[in-house]
Amino acid sequence: MLAGLDPEQASAVTAPAGPLCILAGAGTGKTRAITHRIAHRVRSGEVRAGHVLAVTFTARAAAEMRARLGQLGADGVPARTFHSAALRQVRYFAPRLFAGREMPELLDSKARLVGLAATRAGLKTDRAAARDLAGEIEWAKASLVEPDDYAVAAAKALREPPFDAAKVGQVYAHYERIKRAQGVIDFEDMIRAAIWAIEEHEDVAAQIRSQYRHFVVDEYQDVNPMQQRLLDAWLGDRDDVTVVGDASQTIYSFTGASAAYLVGFKRRHPDARVVRLVRDYRSTPQVVGLANAVISRARGDLAKLRLELVGQRKPGPEPTVRVFADEPEEAAAVAARCADLIAAGTPPREIAVLFRVNAQSEVYQEALAEAGVPYVVHDAERFFDRAEIRQAMIALRVATRTAPGQEAALLDVVVQALEGVGWRPDAAPAGGAMRERWEAVAALVTLAEGMPGRSLEEFTEELSRRAALQHVPTVDGVTLSSLHSAKGLEWDAVFLVGLAEGTLPVIHARTPDAVEEERRLLYVGVTRARHTLWLSYAAARSPGGRARRPCRFLPALDPSRPATPAPKGTVAGRVKRVMAVSCRVCGTGLVNGVDRKLGRCSTCPSDLDEELLSRLVDWRARLAGVQKVPPFVIFTDVTL
Ligand code: ATP
Ligand code: MG
């Protein structure tokens, strides 16, 4: 178990029970050390797998952690996000907590109710304003700030609310009231409910505490007051807790996270052991050098906590900065480079394109589609919400009902059922959104292949279990991800795109603290690359658009290096139709949202009806045969 660890990592792995804090920079093996620590304790018989609770911040990071634990012979250790851990606990205790009633339904987007709350508070809001208001409400809830205290707390935290702070407080109060009246709860309420369940119910607390005895929190620099309170509730008066973090990777403080818990851990637990790691095992010295250069210019409180990384790997290629005329040109060049890397043997899943704002994803999806490169839009949390996966699961359930107890060749039964919804094992589209959907369904087939001897019914049950836990299968394709959800992960080749002022730092990062957070985001991005790192920006967003300045954090590199001319993509063969559909519940036009979020309104959680869904699926099936995959397909004349 200690093989493949350096002495500091080994000391963390073998440290006795009790509070432990690992403070270290990116790629130094923090996650490796804690997974080994868990496995070491489980395999030596010191603790039982089911008594451990490992928590991290994204579903993908949790999945990664489970995979690493499995490889170390410690499967069965729950590794979850704070949210999914809370959800499971609240769901389990729901009959006791909600007087025999079911758990209230979970809102998956605040936008609509916040819009309604704003109207009640006398504010006129468009989508962007509603989103900003929702952000303020999220911050307040994560910071344990009640509506009446919002204005004072926001001023203290130097927030820049989109409206007068007193008004925002009113919107927040209305929002809470509307939610209660409609009997729904939001993301933060779920964690609050778990806290309340433990703090107010002795029997629940006793049961949870006897179940979970050893806690491990990865990425602890990004814990918010609400999550810390949940952790405290889990712990009670015990202290067998390991936390790991890097203050230079604090990237969620705008939502209420605070590195203060990491920094103050020793103060809270005076007998805590503290382990520091500095050797970077992930990246080439060139990438490490760039990461150090980016973060060495940091200002503010967290800058003092910066840890210089020392690269351990063999040298690799120099990171490059490229400049392009506009975003489509930048995206085309990135896609072409991805295709080259894949042709030279890099598997698509070892490549990532990372951007600051999700809106940037679209142009890369188009470019990758044009170049015939498979990709996955990284939103692991949503795998089981994808329309094609929901369709596939319905088809599997129907097949289970019509052919119960099917045992022979699960491999075949699943494929047969999926063929019923237009999926063909041998008809992988060349790239783009179609390929992404095909790959997602293919991931289910691969999963079935890994479970020989099970019946279709058992397989379907297993899928439902995974859907509830968000245990996401791996899909092979170039990852398209925001910088935020890339944390903790690594790829052989990383493209950091859109490094222009206004995008990074993002336009609304106005305070010095906000700008520092953007710098840390770039640091997180740079440190995701093992080998190849390509940074780029476009001088203008659209062809002929207004000129932008390069990202201010790039002086460490020479941005005047001439760019390779971008290959011009062809628009021939695109299939494009126009659709006007509006959601029957909230009235939002689905014009652009429907292709990617097929089957679901992009604003409120309403489903499209079954009949429409099957027509759309039919369409997709027909398009699967089209060689040149359309970058986007918009449907016409559909009425809900
Ligand atoms: P981040 O801050 O990005 O979360 P981290 O500190 O958690 O990074 P890990 O993901 O645990 O770092 O490790 C980074 C990479 O280095 C992984 O590929 C891991 O397998 C490898 N690694 C870690 N420690 C060692 C070691 N002692 N020897 C060889 N490789 C190592
Ligand atoms: Mg990590």
Residues 445 and 326 both lie in one domain: no
Cβ–Cβ < 8 Å for 240, 18 = yes
Residue 442 tokens, joined: 């293919």
Q: Whose CA is nearest to atom 23 of ligand 1?
A: 29
Q: What is the mean pLDDT of each run of 10 residues along the chain (640 residues)?
A: 88 96 95 96 95 90 88 91 91 82 76 92 86 91 96 89 92 96 89 95 95 96 96 96 96 91 93 93 93 86 80 90 89 95 94 88 82 74 70 80 61 78 74 68 78 78 70 74 91 96 84 90 97 92 80 64 29 28 44 39 49 44 37 30
Cβ–Cβ < 8 Å for 135, 77 = no
Q: Which of 369, 378, 318 is nearest to 339 (CA)?
A: 369
312 in ligand 1 pocket by Cβ < 6 Å?
no
Q: Residue 591: what pLDDT? A: 33
- Which CATH number fits the domain that encloses residue 35? 3.40.50.300
Q: Residue 531: what pLDDT? A: 96
**How much distance in Å is there from the Cα of 333 to the middle of ligand 1?**
30
Residues 82 and 215 both lie in one domain: yes
Q: Which of 422, 415, 466, 420 is nearest to 442 (CA)?
A: 415
Q: Relative to the CA of 6, which ligand 1 atom is closest?
A: 27
Q: Residue 406: what pLDDT? A: 53
**How much distance in Å is there from the Cα of 32 to the middle of ligand 1?**
6
What is d(CA 199, CA 394) in angstroms, rounded to the nearest whole number?
A: 39
Residues 230 and 214 both lie in one domain: yes
Annotated binding site for ATP: 24-31
Q: Whose CA is nearest to atom 21 of ligand 1?
A: 281
5 in ligand 1 pocket by Cβ < 6 Å?
yes
Q: Residue 3: what pLDDT? A: 83
The residue among 424, 444, 469 that closes a domain is: 469
Give the three-class secondary structure for 571.
coil
Ligand nearest to the CA of 30: 1
Residues 269 and 291 both lie in one domain: no
Into how many domains does the chain fold? 5
Give the three-class secondary structure for 441.
helix
Residues with CB under 5 A from ligand 2 (ion): 30-31, 488
31 in ligand 1 pocket by Cβ < 6 Å?
yes
The answer as to whether 608 is a domain residue is yes
What is d(CA 167, CA 396) in angstroms, rounded to the nearest whole number?
A: 49
Q: Which of 370, 264, 364, 378 is nearest to 23 (CA)?
A: 264
Q: Residue 381: what pLDDT? A: 45
Location of structure tokens 């806690």: 215
- Write the ipTM: 0.99
Give the three-class secondary structure for 311.
strand
The answer as to whether 411 is a domain residue is yes
DSSP letter (8 states) at residue 163: S
Residues 241 and 172 both lie in one domain: no
The answer as to whether 92 is a domain residue is no
- Which CATH number fits the domain that encloses residue 147? 1.10.10
Residues 455 and 524 both lie in one domain: no
From first CA to last CA, the distance across the chain in angstroms is 58
Q: Relative to the CA of 528, which ligand 1 atom is closest?
A: 3
pTM of the predicted protein model: 0.76
The answer as to whether 546 is a domain residue is no
The answer as to whether 122 is a domain residue is yes
Q: Whose CA is nearest to atom 24 of ligand 1?
A: 29
Ligand nearest to the CA of 8: 1
Residues 181 and 195 both lie in one domain: no
Annotated binding site: 24-31
Residues 385 and 464 both lie in one domain: yes
Q: Residue 293: what pLDDT? A: 87
319 in ligand 1 pocket by Cβ < 6 Å?
no
The answer as to whether 314 is a domain residue is yes
**How much distance in Å is there from the Cα of 417 to the middle of ligand 2?**
39
Ligand nearest to the CA of 62: 2
- Residue of 30, 32, 217 best suited for mutating to test ligand 1, as the one with most atoms within 8 Å of CB: 32
The residue among 185, 210, 243 that closes a domain is: 185
Give the three-class secondary structure for 30.
helix
110 in ligand 1 pocket by Cβ < 6 Å?
no
Cβ–Cβ < 8 Å for 510, 254 = no
Residues 302 and 365 both lie in one domain: yes
What is the full DSSP assignment across 75-101?
TT--EEEHHHHHHHHHHHHHHHHTTTS
37 in ligand 1 pocket by Cβ < 6 Å?
no
The answer as to whether 504 is a domain residue is yes
Length of the chain (residues): 640
Q: Residue 596: what pLDDT? A: 37
Q: Relative to the CA of 33, which ligand 1 atom is closest?
A: 11
Residues 228 and 295 both lie in one domain: no
Q: Whose CA is nearest to atom 9 of ligand 1?
A: 29
The residue among 168, 185, 202 that closes a domain is: 185
Q: Relative to the CA of 488, which ligand 1 atom is closest?
A: 4
**How much distance in Å is there from the Cα of 34 to the middle of ligand 1?**
11
Residues 198 and 267 both lie in one domain: yes
**How much distance in Å is there from the Cα of 483 to the middle of ligand 2?**
14
Q: Whose CA is nearest to atom 28 of ligand 1?
A: 4
The answer as to whether 75 is a domain residue is yes
DSSP letter (8 states) at residue 104: P
Residues 446 and 583 both lie in one domain: no
488 in ligand 1 pocket by Cβ < 6 Å?
yes
Q: Which domain, by its residues, includes 496?
A: 286-373+478-540
**How much distance in Å is there from the Cα of 23 to the middle of ligand 1?**
13
Phi, psi (degrees; rounded to nearest 5) at 323: -120, 135
Q: Residue 366: what pLDDT? A: 79
- Residue of 1, 8, 31, 522 best suited for mutating to test ligand 1, as the one with most atoms within 8 Å of CB: 31
